[in-house]
Structure 1
Amino acid sequence: MKTSFVSNLAIQNAMRLTIQRGQTEMIKLNTEVSTGVHADYGLALGGSTARSVTITSQIERIATLKSTNSIVTQRLAGSQEALATMQDAAQKSLTSLIAFRDNSTADLLKVAQDQNKASISTFTSAANTSLNGEYLLSGINTDVQPLTEYSATSDAKASYDAALSTFMGAQTPPLTSLSEFSKEQMTDFIENTLAPMYADPSVPGSQWSDYSSASSQNMTSRISANEVIQSSTNVNTEGTRKFALASIISSELLSADLPDDVRSVVSGKAIDYMGEAVTGLISMQSDLGLSQERVKKANTSIDAQTKIMKAHQLDLEGIDAYAASVQLKTLQTQLETSYTLTSRLQQLSLINFL
């Protein structure tokens, strides 16, 4: 019988390797217990790893849509606030025009004119609302202020003066002052000279560019995998143009030196156009409201899709947390035992027995 010898150094090295492997496995188990999924998908899933990658990619894609939708929601909400202010300004002008209709008293006309000027200023300020450095009512021209306020030095004022002068000179005999206008001439001037100047920018003869630098093309946003909406509006719509038309009629003609029957024509046209402006602005709000509702429903759908995909992902990548915890505790016990044995082996020495 032959006896072989095993040194305590060899035993120590074996224990050291066991401890290293245990520590590596312990780090892996700690990660799995804390996350609830495999620490190494490729190793654990094998051929199913491609499915895991695909699901993760889909979750990230719809998360990007949800993030984009939050920006769209902010833009739509800001636009709604601006339109509400514009609609309120138009409504106040309409109320004032109706209240002072058929009045020719200078003081009352001055009150109506002051209200109109205040409404123009409020309306223009709201139309030029910006969010995060982008103008909300400029269509796709988000870097350009959309609306220029009507003033004595504006291009719109120059165009109005030129149109009035041309119309008066074309009459037979030519008119030299507003007091010479008849009801028929004033109706003709407003309907066939002024109104076409405030037509859609695409219509020949329109001079709406004196007011607007906005694009008639609105911004669009993808809110889900298969749904795209208009996520902005612009000041080239009928509501804004009719407000400008009614305002210029009120500002320039209502308090002018006109016969009472002609002033009645001016007042009636201003009221009609301002009423159309209010209706047009409400329609703009309704359109944006539909877009807001679609975004809301898209977000609800995205949340449902995300929940389903994450559940599928967990089924694929998840671990048995209880089993992993038990394995971790067992491994901790083994490591503690290994530490104890290693310590005792290190204390073995012939010197202690001599």
Structure 2
Amino acid sequence: MKTSFVSNLAVQNAMRLTLQQSQLEMMKLQQEMTSGVWADTGTALGSTTSRSVNLKAELDRLKNIKDTNSLATQRLSASQGALSTMRTSVEEIRKQLISAKGTDDKGKLDVAHTTFVTQLSAFTAAANTQFNNEYVFAGVNSDVRPLTDYGPGSPAKVAFDTALSTFQAANGNVALKDFTSAQMTDFINNTLQPMFLGSGWDGTWSQASSDNIQTRISPNEVIETSSNTNTTGVRQFMMATVIATELMKPELSTAARDTALTAAQDHLEKGLTGIIQMGAQIGVAEGRVKAANTSIDNQVKLINTHILDIEGVDPTETSSRLTALKTQIEISYTLTARIQELSLINYL
């Protein structure tokens, strides 16, 4: 019979290795207790991991859509605020048109003219509202100022002056103050109307795109989340206000001025109807975004529940394993300490 010795150093190293492995396992269990899910999902789930990955990818997609919806909601809210200002301008001009009807009083006409100019400027500023450095009424051309300012030297003012001069020349160089009611009607219907309601509008009065921003507000729904200054409401308002500003001057005959006033009122009412419709469309879009967000929140909750079902650990079992492992480590510490005390010197 042959005997051999076992080094206490070898035993000590083996215990140290076991202790290290136990400590790593304890760290994983503590992490699982805190997070409620497996520390190493791939190892724990094996082939089932693909389900978890797919669900997390869908979760990320829904969260991205929700972030996009947040921007769309803010843009729509900014649009509603601007439309409120635009409606106020329409109402102020309407009041002045009513007060100016049938009057030849220069003072009243001058006050009305000042209101027309002021409210036209306010309307234009509201139509050029920006949110997040984007123009909300520019359609997809959100980096371009949509509505042209109307004032001396502006393309819109030059276009009007050119159209008026051309009409006057075609009618024997008739002065504006000598316009008859028939000439005023002819000028408004056949010269101004195509400028505002026809092809003359694009580029001169508006730089906006007629195509609005499309936003995916849910996995299966895409809607328009902006508007533009090419809508009928804006065109009609601008035509009405330019008529009131330029063609209702005190020096005109009463008949010609009343003809212009009647036309301005008609186009203003159509403009107000169109602007209200713009607000309604934006309101519908706001409602659909809100409903989509509610649906996304419910989907996110459901997906999170599924992920937890797949990746979740049993807290009772994990706690028991952690307790057992702590006990094992404590025993290992005790044994290691005793082994370290083994020495032949202690027995000599």
TM-score grouping bracket, smaller chain normalisation:
over 0.9
Post-superposition Cα deviations, 1:262-298, rounded to whole Å, max 9, x if no partner, equal: 2211111111111111111111111111111111111
**1:169 to partner: Cα distance:** 2.9
Larger deviation, residues 222-231 vs 182-191: 182-191
Aligned residues of 2:109 and 2:250 also touching (Cα < 8 A): no
CA distance in 1, matches of 2:342, 2:206: 94
Aligned: 1:63 with 2:57: no
User: Corresponding residue for 2:293?
Assistant: 299
8 Å contact from structure 2 (residues 139, 208) kept in 1:
yes
Give the structure 1 partner of residue 54 of structure 2.
54
Task: Show structure 2 runs of 5+ residues with no match.
Answer: none
Q: Within 5 Å, which residues of 2 pair with 1:268-347?
A: 268-347=262-341
Query: Pick from 172, 180, 183: which aligns with 1:182?
Result: 180
Where does residue 124 of structure 1 map in the other structure? 124
Whether the aligned pair in 2 keeps the contact of 1:137 and 1:233 (CA below 8 Å) is: yes
3-state SS, counterpart of residue 325 of structure 1: helix
TM-score calculated relative to the size of structure 1? 0.93
Quote the offset at 1:91 in angstroms: 1.6
Task: Map 1:150-165 onto structure 2 (within 5 A).
Answer: 150-165=150-165
CA distance in 1, matches of 2:29, 2:196: 73
More displaced 10-residue stretch of structure 1: 5-14 or 15-24: 5-14
Deviation of 1:110 (Å): 1.0
Which one-letter code corresponds to 1:9 in the other structure?
Answer: L
Residue 179 of structure 1 and its aligned partner are, at CA, apart by 2.9
Per the alignment, residue 38 of structure 1 pairs with 38
Report if aligned partners of 1:198, 1:245 keep a CA contact under 8 Å in 2: yes
Structure 1 residues 63-102: aligned runs within 5 Å: 63-102=63-102
Work out whether residues 102 and 267 of structure 1, in 8 Å CA contact, stay in contact via their aligned partners in 2. no
* Partner SS, residue 139 of structure 1: coil
* Alpha-carbon distance in structure 2 between the residues aligned to 1:19 and 1:158: 89
Task: Name the aligned partner's letter for residue 293 of structure 1.
Answer: G
Displacement of 1:325: 1.6
CA contact (8 A) 1:175 1:181 kept: no
**What's the offset of the Cα at 1:316?**
1.0
More deviation in 325-334 or 221-230?
A: 325-334
CA distance in 2, matches of 1:195, 1:104: 26
Give me the whole-angstrom Cα distance separating, in 1, the residues matched to 2:50 and 2:204: 59
Return the match for 1:350 from 337, 340, 344. Answer: 344
C-alpha distance in 2 between matches for 1:301 and 1:196: 46
Cα distance in structure 2, aligned partners of 1:327 and 1:207: 77
The amino acid that maps onto 2:217 is I
Tell me the equivalent position of 2:192. 194
Give the whole-Å Cα distance in 2 for the aligned partners of 1:345 and 1:104: 117
The offset of 1:230, in angstroms, is 0.7
Matches within 5 A, 1:187-226: 187-200=185-198, 203=199, 206-226=200-220
Displacement of 1:353: 3.0
Alpha-carbon offset, residue 4 of structure 1: 5.7
Code of the aligned partner of 1:179 = K
Aligned AA for 2:175? S
- 1:52–1:316: 8 Å Cα contact kept in structure 2? yes
Partner of 2:108: 108
Q: Give the Å deviation of 1:150.
A: 0.7
Task: Give, in whole Å, the separation in 2 of the partners of 1:321 and 1:98.
Answer: 77
- Greater shift, 253-262 or 265-274, is seen at 253-262
Partners of 1:28 and 1:107 in 2: CA distance: 86
Among all aligned residue pairs of Structure 1 and Structure 2, give the percentage whose two residues are the same amino acid: 47
Give SS of 1:209's match: coil
Q: CA deviation at 1:5?
A: 4.3
Counterpart Cα distance in 2 of 1:280 and 1:38 = 58
Displacement of 1:208 in angstroms is 4.3
Distance, in Å, in 2 between the alignment partners of 1:152 and 1:158 is: 8
Cα shift at 1:313? 1.1
Counterpart residue number, 1:259: 253
Contact 1:86 1:122 in 2 (8 A): yes
Match of 1:26 in 2: 26
Q: Deviations over 1:111-169 (max 9, x none)?
A: 11111111111111111111222111111111111111111212222222222222233
**Counterpart Cα distance in 2 of 1:50 and 1:161:** 70
**Aligned equivalents of 2:153, 2:183: Cα separation in 1:** 27
Secondary structure of 1:229's aligned partner: strand
* Structure 2 counterpart of 1:92, one-letter code: E
CA shift at 1:13, angstroms? 1.9
Counterpart AA for 1:81: G
Please state how far the C-alpha of 1:99 moved relative to its aligned partner.
2.4
**Pairwise CA RMSD:** 1.7
* 1:207, distance to aligned residue in structure 2 (A): 4.0
So what's the TM-score if we normalise by structure 2? 0.95
After superposition, the Cα gap between the structure-2 partners of 1:208 and 1:244, relative to the gap in structure 1 and judged at 3 Å, is farther
Task: Specify every segment of 5 or more residues in structure 1 that has no aligned partner in the other structure, as ranges.
Answer: none
Kept in 2, the 8 Å contact 1:178–1:256? The answer is: no
SS at match of 2:197: coil
Task: Judge conservation of contact 1:199–1:208 (CA < 8 Å) in 2.
Answer: no
2:9 aligned partner: 9
Aligned pair count reads 348
